[in-house]
Amino acid sequence: MKFTSNLLKTLVMEYTAELQKIYTVDEAKSLIYWLTEAFFGVNRLQLAMHPETRLNESEMLKLLFAVKALKQHKPVQYVVGEMTFSGLRIKVSPEVLIPRQETEQLVQWIAESEINRVSGILDVCTGSGCIALALKNILPQADVMGYDFSGQAVTKAKENAALNNLEVSFFVESVFTSSIEGLPLFDVVVSNPPYVLESEKEMMRPNVLNFEPHEALFVSDDQPLLFYESILKQSVTYLRKGGRIYFEINEAMGEEMVHLLRVFGFTEIEVKNDLNGKPRMVRAVR
């Protein structure tokens, strides 16, 4: 394949223009520089300082195919294969959800609240392992475990643990198992389970709807709290009396979540807003 130029500066300009056909100007620029930094270690400032930076043919092909994937709405995190979450490198693929900013805020809330008292943490529906690993990194004294029904997700979580040199035990299990044998009692249980309603699909962007795993995203409108209810039923076997449970939630389900937690006998229930002022997290005491 022939290219008109191997100057990275020129390629950035050309591909930014290409991406502007489906993304905003700012999004297009951000995506291109995400690629150049991830693939070649060259960010926007570095390219401005070294405008004569050139790519070899294999590097140009890598960038070309990445841009083609972005034009098909594939998330840049999947194109690159990893992202930063709470200061950690987290590998992601279409088998696991891409961690969001709200989930980082959930981790921060837990870390700040539990810093002087937690010894055991369980992350339910762990996916890439990002929550469990971030908490282990911030609270190294804690024994942290995580599980997911997906064997592929657990494999990815273990890969991320090795990548970040963190000791977290991951295993395959379902939230719909009535009880899990052999687990210790935990001080904290945290989960970011599926909570997007099927009826909300039409509001989602193609990069989410067409690429991220639906089984980790969506729940039936008829049973919007199905996963939370199952986790709460299960938690009586592994959450210590006086222990805390933390959930990421659908912003439209705050009141329903408070009611559900009360039904299960939890107290000191607190709903927390995300950075956009939307109720996206809840904490309660068993």
**What digits encode the pLDDT tens for the residues 66-96?**
999 999 999 999 999 999 999 999 999 999 9
Backbone angles phi, psi at 171, to 5 degrees: -150, 165
Specify the CATH superfamily of domain 82-285: Vaccinia Virus protein VP39 (3.40.50.150)
Q: How do 239-248 and 279-285 pair as beta strands?
A: antiparallel
Residues 30 and 65: their CA atoms lie apart, in Å, by 17
Q: Is the pLDDT of residue 172 over 90?
A: yes
- Where residue 274 falls among pLDDT bands split at 50, 70, 90? very high
pLDDT-above-90 percentage for the chain: 87
The verdict on pTM exceeding 0.85 is: yes
What would the pLDDT profile of 121-155 be if each residue is shown by its tens digit?
A: 999 999 999 999 999 999 999 999 999 999 999 99
Give the rounded percent of residues in the chain with a pLDDT score beyond 70.
99
